[in-house]
Amino acid sequence: MLKIGSHVSFSDKGLLSATKEASSYGSSSFMIYTGAPQNTRRKPIESMYIEEGKLAMQEGGMEDIVVHAPYIINLGSYKENTYELAVSFLQEEIRRTHAIGVKNIVLHPGAFTDKDAHYGIGRIAEGLNEVLDGVKETDVKIALETMAGKGTEMGRSFEEIAQIMEKVTHNERLAVCMDTCHIHDAGYDIVNDLDGVLEQFDRTVGLDRITVMHINDSKNAVGARKDRHTPIGSGWIGFEAINRIVHHEALQGRPFILETPWIGKEAKTQRPMYEVEIALLRGDVSGRFGPEFLTEVEQLQHFFQGKEIDSRSYILDVWTLLKNDAKAKKADPREPLERLYDLVAEAALFPHLNEEQLNHRLIAWLAGKELLVTA
């Protein structure tokens, strides 16, 4: 079975609430933080409903889940206090990950800030050696995430990932988390040459090193080095390319984790599109939402045909306009999905649907009529 799921919160009832949230989207895997990703405050692991969560996972058929390390960890920093905090805090997060029973903790490798890439590679490797020496009692692997290349962050190329790994003594404890938005933004053409990209990764790092996949579309063209996620099908990568990635023979057996943003007109009504994204990638839209859902997506298809709107062309044209025309962006800063939603809402095409339900159908329409029918 395809291991696909969502990035969920780790809140009041810890693993139990996270499992329930993931289950509500139809997930067969999920990713969590063990506390807030922006600070070091942590509840005792004993208070996080671990056993209750594991029972709920077992009942829901979810075994292979992932932890994400906090964003405040920077092993690439030359500042001693920042570096020392990164080492000690990552060690504690690994112990918490081990206590939950999770095998992989995803880590942004780090940023070299005022130094250079050569320094960053050495400093991150030094930090990883120190971290791993202090948590020998665990079997948790650190999955270095492929990064988009914004600012001075490391891991923006396969070569940088390989160079970091080569300098780590116990690099059998290292793995890789491949992020689709990040490698696209870093310049790897996964839309037109997925096999070539995977072959390059295999030669440089090794496909066997990948233990986690992050599945995200991108608001930017290939090589933009921006790292701005968007729901599946509403960005430059597109549903078809992401669907090929999720079902690629060389990537099977790993958990595929969605990190797509929540969307909605107002913050209080914003919701993630995980449920429909998972159903589309699993090929079970009708089973998840019922046959009427497909009928309504067909109605959307006819509606947009009447306005001479092609889904892929429209998405890319709007993103290009927002990037290249400052006046047009100031006059109408709405993103493609927001504009499509407004067109349908103004036409009162589905007055019985709420905002989330309409957005679900738009995401399905963006997947493409032919792909939807085969689902």
Q: What's residue 80's pLDDT?
A: 97
Residue 369 confidence (pLDDT): 60
Q: What's the one-letter identity of residue 244?
A: R
Give mean pLDDT, residues 251-276: 94
**How confident is the model over 168-184, as pLDDT tens digits?**
999 999 999 999 999 99
What percent of the chain lies above the pLDDT cut of 70? 98
pLDDT at 73: 97
For position 37, what pLDDT does the model report? 82
Q: Is the pLDDT of residue 372 over 70?
A: no
Task: Write down the H helix ranges in the chain.
Answer: 14-24, 50-59, 80-100, 117-133, 158-166, 180-186, 194-204, 239-246, 274-282, 285-289, 291-306, 311-324, 326-331, 336-346, 355-366, 369-374
**Does 352 score more than 60 pLDDT?**
yes
pLDDT exceeds cutoff 50 at 374: no
Mean pLDDT, residues 68-97 taken together = 97
Confidence grade of residue 21 (pLDDT, cut at 50, 70, 90): very high
Of the listed ranges 40-54, 163-177, 227-241, 335-349, the one predicted with least confidence: 40-54
Could you name the CATH architecture of 4-282?
Alpha-Beta Barrel (3.20)
Q: Which residues are annotated as a binding site?
A: 68, 108, 145, 179, 182, 214, 227, 229, 259
pLDDT in tens, 282-303: 999 999 999 999 999 999 999 9
Residue 375, pLDDT > 60, answer no
Q: How confident is the model at residue 36 (pLDDT cuts 50, 70, 90)?
A: confident
Q: How high is the pLDDT of residue 370?
A: 56
* Annotated binding-site positions for Zn(2+): 68, 108, 145, 179, 182, 214, 227, 229, 259
pLDDT of residue 128: 98
The dihedral region occupied by 221, where left means phi > 0, alpha psi between -120 and 50, and beta the remainder, is: beta
Q: So where are the chain's domains?
A: 4-282, 285-372
Predicted local confidence at residue 9, as pLDDT: 79
pLDDT tens per residue across span 200-235 = 999 999 999 999 999 999 999 999 999 999 999 999
In angstroms, what CA-CA distances link 329 with 169, 235, 322, 336, 340? 50, 17, 5, 12, 16
- Rounded CA-CA distance 88/231 in Å is 35
40 — pLDDT class (breaks 50, 70, 90): confident
Helix (H) or strand (E) holding 141: strand 141-145
- What's residue 336's pLDDT? 97
The answer to whether 233 and 366 have CB atoms below 8 angstroms apart is: yes
Structure-model confidence comparison of residues 265 and 352, the more confident one: 352
pLDDT averaged over every residue in the chain:
95
Arithmetic mean of pLDDT, 52-79: 95
**Which residues, other chains included, contact 103 with Cβ-Cβ below 8 Å and sequence gap of 6+?**
64, 139, 140, 141, 211
For residue 95, is pLDDT > 60? yes
Contact yes or no for 120/75 (Cβ under 8 A): no
> In percent, how much of the chain has pLDDT > 90?
91
